[in-house]
Chains A and B, each alone.
Chain A
């Protein structure tokens, strides 16, 4: 039963939510006061507050990146004014942009849930499900916690790992920005040898305030453990602000394995500037599965640092850019140890003048004796005005390696459309089928329900494309 009545819900896991009541003046931009206020409202320990302030200084000194997508129209100061939680408290379903609401409806998500996903309402069923999952995990010693809560509950771990040895505020301007104003997200710790059977989903946390735009995900998989984390679900995410600068830090310890799946579908006015990185120790495995939809501009290059001997990484991703969109995505594979291996399969689709680029780095360090790597990228353009680029950079500092690389860009041919139509498919269905076939390797890598939703998203993107 769905009860939107807030009184009946136990919000103890969302402590922060109830506390947040900022009344900012708009137009102040990002300042020390803003950062202090965020920290204070979260009731954070002083070390986190100081960390934020240092990050702010770094942010202010760093230049905007001038490569990738065009960021000249991005006015961070005006966006920062919006991230203040008071804006969220005033959110109502009516404020959700029409196109996102329509997508929610067509995805078949029940209204109450739609509102919950949009951060507007609260959804009773989700709470129950969340608690159930959490209980069975707790018995195995798994920590699955809201990041704001984790800062207070596990200060020693967070202090040691939070943007210190993986992603740091010094990495780039948006990493610094994230460090200064991060809010929400998820902390996962999987103890040695524990294999988490069900995929953990960030989905259950979507109605937590502050998650969504600057959320921080930290996952530590201890020796020999396994976990599959699914971020974002396929639900289009509505955010008051139009900047998303999240950060994901993954620690794959010896013999451990993390699968990190994301299907993102951002509102078409969003700048999605995300940082994701995994450090993989001896014989550890990281698998990224990534679907990037929506957004105005995206820059996203999940990185795998193969630090221990025999460490493995796989990246399987699809990017879809339609009208007015520029999605610059790819992966970084850094081989630092002997016998490490990596595999990249990146697919990009562009239509109606959209630009979809693959930008990747494959680096083989001098110690990566016997490393193996393969990079395969394919672009599919649905018309003559769209663009698909591939920019794979390969740097090799060891002679004894095995590298494979393949890139191709193509269009749907009229002959293929004719062939499929001769079997009864409409022109739209024919295109959709070709695109679905194109992304099949990614769909295959996802759990069934997410594969189905990804295909539905593709269908929605394709609709109306044919004049």
Chain B
């Protein structure tokens, strides 16, 4: 039995005076790939934001435990340093700050040590190749003028450098064409280590074909309403979420 990495207990979350999560329970094991599926507006992105600690999402009840430690009230950057990473659905643009500069700054903060110029350049070259990105991205301003696909790739680029314990991929497949999706999925697969857990939030099965989750949970109306193995995804695809709703 694998150890628990993340445990969410009875989580209630409010966004702009509206309850989105209403008593959510979820456990993610170390090394596990766990997919969260569910209809739009069900709270999937809210879950990611709450785990990352976005202050806009207010936890009114419940707990988030990471490696046994209660992180419910921890600041966003403290969570990042503990090894939690969110690949954003809509990554922000930061004019004037190059991809290179940003990732170096971030790596130095998160790892607490200064990565050497040489090592950084080497890692950067390899990771860019892995993601089928040109080296000119290094000197472009972070996400400024990037296409949807380029933004998603840049998120994975950051993930590669930060080596988190928990990676949340929030709709990584949106805005990607089939080829780019394949590149991204295979890069994630390559970057995944034994210790790394991945939480995939998606509507679609395609990314799951590449990443082969160990577990699937269905999030509807602010709660996990059903959990199962990979076959659950197939059933959902055939019968839709109503099947789950009616089946509960």
Contact = CB atoms under 8 A, between A and B. Distances in A.
B145 interface: no
Interface residues of B, number: 27
Given A421-B77, A424-B81, A425-B77, A414 B95 contact: no
Interface string B4-31: 0000000000000000000000000000
Tell which of A420, A426, A436 has the most Cβ of chain B within 10 Å: A420
Given A414-B56, A418-B55, A419-B91, A426 B96 contact: no
B88 interface: yes
A136 to B, nearest CB: 34
B64 interface: no
A440 B142 CA distance: 13
B75 to A, nearest CB: 7
A422 interface: yes
A414 B49 CA distance: 13
B139 to A, nearest CB: 12
Contacts of B91: 419
A434 B76 contact: no
A413 B94 CA distance: 11
Contacts, number: 71
A424 B96 contact: no
Contact of B80 (A414, A415, A422): A422
B129 to A, nearest CB: 22
Interface stretch (B104-112, B175-183, B202-210, B224-232): B104-112
Interface in B217-246: none
Given A414-B56, A418-B54, A437-B141, A424 B109 contact: yes
A433 B76 contact: no
A437 B97 contact: yes
A423 interface: yes
Contacts of A299: none
B109 A425 contact: yes
A418 B109 CA distance: 16
Interface in B51-83: 52, 54-56, 75-77, 79-81
B97 A440 contact: yes
B158 interface: yes
A416 interface: yes
Interface string B152-185: 0000001000100000000000000000000000
A189 interface: no
Residue from the set B56, B77, B88 with the largest chain A CB neighbour count within 10 Å: B77
A439 interface: yes
A195 to B, nearest CB: 29
Contact of A419 (B85, B88, B95, B110): B88
A413 B95 CA distance: 13
B92 interface: yes
Interface in A428-447: 429, 433-434, 436-441
B36 interface: no
Given A418-B56, A422-B52, A426-B77, A433 B85 contact: no
B79 to A, nearest CB: 8
Contacts of A421: 75-77, 80
Nearest to B161: A423
Interface residues of A, number: 23
Contacts of B188: none
Given A416-B92, A433-B105, A422 B76 contact: yes
B96 A440 contact: yes
A17 to B, nearest CB: 43
Contact of A424 (B56, B77, B97): B77
Contacts of B85: 422
Most buried by B among A416, A421, A423: A423
A260 to B, nearest CB: 23
B97 A415 contact: no
A421 B97 CA distance: 15
B94 A433 contact: yes
Contacts of B56: 414, 418
B86 interface: yes
B158 A423 contact: yes
A416 B106 contact: no
Nearest to B106: A423
A439 B76 contact: no
Query: In this complex, which of A421, A424, A429, A440 has the most chain B Cβ atoms within 10 angstroms of its Cβ?
Result: A424
Nearest to A437: B96
Contacts of B55: 414, 418
Contacts of B76: 418, 421-422
24 contacts: A413-B92, A414-B56, A416-B92, A418-B52, A418-B56, A419-B88, A419-B92, A420-B92, A420-B94, A421-B75, A422-B77, A422-B80, A423-B102, A424-B80, A424-B81, A425-B109, A426-B77, A427-B75, A433-B94, A434-B97, A436-B96, A436-B97, A438-B95, A439-B96
Given A423-B106, A424-B80, 5 more contacts: A413-B92, A420-B92, A423-B110, A425-B106, A434-B97
Q: Which 4 A-B pairs have the closest CB atoms?
A: A437-B96, A440-B96, A421-B76, A424-B109
